[in-house]
Amino acid sequence: MPYSLKQKIGLVLLLTAVMIISAAVILSQEGRAPAHPMDQAFVTTADLRIGQHNGVWYFHYPHLQWAGGITASLAVGLYKLIVPASPETLNYHIKILAMLLFFLFSYLLASQYLKTRQGLFLFIAIIATSGFQLIEPTNELIAATYLLAFFYGMAKKWNFIITTLLLVCFGLCKAELPLVAGAMMLYWVWVTPDKRSKALIIGGFLFWLVVFIAPGLYLYGIKTISGGRAFCSFSDHYPLLMARYKLTDVPEPYKYFTYILVCALTNMLVFMRVFKGIFGVLVLRWARCREKITSNHFEPMVLIGFIALAIPHTLVAAFRARYLLKFFIPFVLISVVYWEYCRESSDKPAYLWQARIILALLILTIVLQLAGLMRIIENPYFLEFIG
């Protein structure tokens, strides 16, 4: 049944408790951000101050290829301008900020699609026990928050200027995400009926792209968006994965093709390990993909974005668990929405049984996530290929 205002307040209080506990866990970890080459070091180098040193003006605008990308680094830099933090506490500040925004937009988005208090409770329980709110580097959480804010803006029908801004901010958080944001933008244009709106979407997307990239191009030239990150990732992943599957002696003409297959297999294993029972729910959902359960083209846009994310992680470097954070919340939300949909159709035996199976899979996911939560708390950065 739909939840009342009193029950909604209870759910908000539950989420608040989860955020307080998550903040306490973060405060029990290291307050000083790790040094380069650790990716979390971007929180120390993100700097929007303008000044002079030895008579030379300086302004450290971020590069897309660097850890933190452009827009995640800008978010951190802006926070540091407003809230001074010592090097000993900076990591606390940024991780707690990212965690709070991540949970906030997760809840706001879920409240647009979930109709029952049980569904929203399940959703909160799954995201709370995932441990993703604790991981490093923090740009993964910031990117996920931009994406969730974009989906929420789409659901609320915000102005194109704001929604395209959020989509571009998501796309410029990491070097592989412009492809994802571009694919989602093209699908958005395709499903938009009138020409004026299509033009506003394309124009807004390109406008914000130029706004964020232009300062770097002016200061550093093409280096602000180009670099060897893809080659470095390939160089790291290729020997590791080929050795893991004992394929180092593959004949020369077949090596790269074999590597693509290995990446695809690894990606599937990582997806199943990260999503646990939700993987089974998604299989059930896509078996009935012709039945529409969400509005605003939410499901196909999520799927297109995920496919665009998987392409470079198949051709260049396989998924690590933390890379899936960007689409973890959307897939969890789709799973819980589908459970609600099957419950509503419980007068049909097939849907009744699906609802029971889905609920069991969602509860299994929570249990398995609780079992692995301590591992993430103790080691929030090094999430391996399969877990």
Summarize pLDDT for 315-332 with one digit per residue, the tens.
Answer: 998 898 889 999 999 999
Domain annotation covers residue 196: yes
- 90 vs 10 pLDDT, higher one: 90
Domain annotation covers residue 19: no
Residue span of the structural domain in which 340 resides: 5-11+35-378
Amino acid letter, 377 = I
- 91 vs 238 pLDDT, higher one: 91
- CA Rg, the chain, in Å? 21
Nearest to residue 211, comparing CAs of 117, 71, 112?
A: 71
Return the pLDDT at 237: 83
Phi and psi at residue 146, to the nearest 5°: -60, -45
Mind listing the pLDDT tens digit for each residue in 246-261? Answer: 888 888 889 999 999 9
Q: Answer whether residue 142 shows pLDDT above 70.
A: yes
What's the start-to-end Cα distance of the chain, in Å? 36
CB 14 within 8 A of CB 127: no
Q: In which region does residue 296 sit, left (phi positive, over 0), alpha (psi from -120 to 50) or beta (all else)?
A: left
Query: Of 245-254, 260-269, 302-311, 329-338, which gets the smallest average pLDDT?
Result: 245-254
Return the pLDDT at 302: 97
Q: Answer whether residue 154 shows pLDDT above 50.
A: yes
How far apart, in whole angstroms, are the C-alpha atoms of residue 238 and residue 255? Answer: 10
Q: What tokens does 196 get?
A: 């004026």
How far apart, in whole angstroms, are the C-alpha atoms of residue 35 and residue 46? Answer: 13
CB 165 within 8 A of CB 203: no
Q: Taking residues 104-133, report their average pLDDT.
A: 95
Domain annotation covers residue 75: yes
Return the pLDDT at 52: 65
Domain annotation covers residue 28: no
Return the pLDDT at 144: 97
Domain annotation covers residue 154: yes
Residues 6+ apart with CB under 8 A from 14: 121, 124
CB 67 within 8 A of CB 137: yes
CB 225 within 8 A of CB 216: yes
Q: Answer whether residue 60 shows pLDDT above 90.
A: no
Mind listing the pLDDT tens digit for each residue in 185-206? Answer: 999 999 999 999 999 999 999 9
Return the pLDDT at 111: 94
Q: Answer whether residue 270 shows pLDDT above 70.
A: yes
What percentage of the chain has pLDDT greater than the value 70? 95
Mind listing the pLDDT tens digit for each residue in 337-380? Answer: 999 999 988 778 888 999 999 999 999 999 999 999 998 898 88
Domain count within the chain: 1
Query: Of 52-56, 149-153, 172-176, which gets the smallest average pLDDT?
Result: 52-56
Amino acid letter, 57 = W
Return the pLDDT at 46: 87
What percentage of the chain has pLDDT greater than the value 90? 68
Q: Is the dihedral of CA 253, 257, 263, 265 positive or negative?
A: negative
Nearest to residue 357, comparing CAs of 331, 384, 338, 376?
A: 338
Return the pLDDT at 386: 42
Secondary structure of the chain as H, E, C letters: CECCHHHHHHHHHHHHHHHHHHHHHHHCCCCCCCCCCCHHHHHHHCCCCEEEECCEEEECCCCCCCCCCCHHHHHHHHHHHHCCCCCCCHHHHHHHHHHHHHHHHHHHHHHHHCCEHHHHHHHHHHHHHHCHHHCCCCHHHHHHHHHHHHHHHHHHCCCHHHHHHHHHHHHCCCCCHHHHHHHHHHHHHHHCCCHHHHHHHHHHHHHHHHHHHHHHHHHHHHHHCCCCHHHHHHHHHHHHHHHHCCCCCCCHHHHHHHHHHHHHHHHHHHHHHHHCHHHHHHHHHHHCCCCCCCCCCHHHHHHHHHHHHHCHHHHCCCCCHHHHHHHHHHHHHHHHHHHHHHHHCCCCHHHHHHHHHHHHHHHHHHHHHHHHHHHHHHCCCCCCCCC
pLDDT-derived band at 221 (thresholds 50, 70, 90) equals confident
Nearest to residue 335, comparing CAs of 288, 285, 289, 275?
A: 285
Domain annotation covers residue 386: no
Domain annotation covers residue 211: yes
How far apart, in whole angstroms, are the C-alpha atoms of residue 385 and residue 266? Answer: 7
CB 185 within 8 A of CB 201: yes
Domain annotation covers residue 26: no
If you average pLDDT over every residue of the chain, what do you get?
A: 91
- 228 vs 366 pLDDT, higher one: 366
Return the pLDDT at 16: 95
Return the pLDDT at 382: 54
Return the pLDDT at 383: 57
How far apart, in whole angstroms, are the C-alpha atoms of residue 181 and residue 339? Answer: 28
Return the pLDDT at 385: 46
Dihedral, 200, 297, 122, 19 alpha carbons, nearest 10: -10
Q: Taking residues 154-177, report their average pLDDT.
A: 96
